[in-house]
Amino acid sequence: MERIQSLRREIDEIDERILHFLKDRVKICKTIGATKREHGIPIRDQQREEEQYRHIMKRASELGLDPLEVKAIYREIIAVGMHAQEFDRNERCSS
């Protein structure tokens, strides 16, 4: 049972790192969104998304992960980033 607890603590630590990486990613997405708005560039870039999915699926496969499962996770991550580009929380809160 101690082994399971130890492994769960490792998972908790990894989850914490993932959350920090997501926070960093969202921050960058907000900056990209502001730049796109300044230049009148559409938020959605279908070509870029497809490039990301191809790369992610290739890397997932190389790492021994199921590419389709990883793509599903990244669909959500990209959706969060897209939302951050469209709506900066600080702008919404101050409006």
CATH number (domain holding residue 58) = 1.20.59.10
**pLDDT in the model for residue 92:** 45
Number of separate domains in the chain: 1
Query: What range defines the domain where residue 88 resides?
Result: 2-94
How far, CA to CA in Å, does 3 sit from each of 6, 7, 9, 17, 35? 5, 6, 10, 21, 48
Q: How far is 44 from 26, CA to CA, in rounded Å?
A: 15
Q: How far is 95 from 75, CA to CA, in rounded Å?
A: 29
Residue 56 has pLDDT above 90, yes or no: yes
**pLDDT in the model for residue 55:** 98
Choose among 6, 13, 25: nearest CA to 85.
25
Helix ranges restricted to H, 1-95: 2-39, 46-62, 67-86, 89-94
The pTM of this model reads: 0.83
Residue 93 has pLDDT above 70, yes or no: no
Between 92 and 10, the higher pLDDT residue: 10
| Percentage of the chain lying above the pLDDT 70 cut | 92
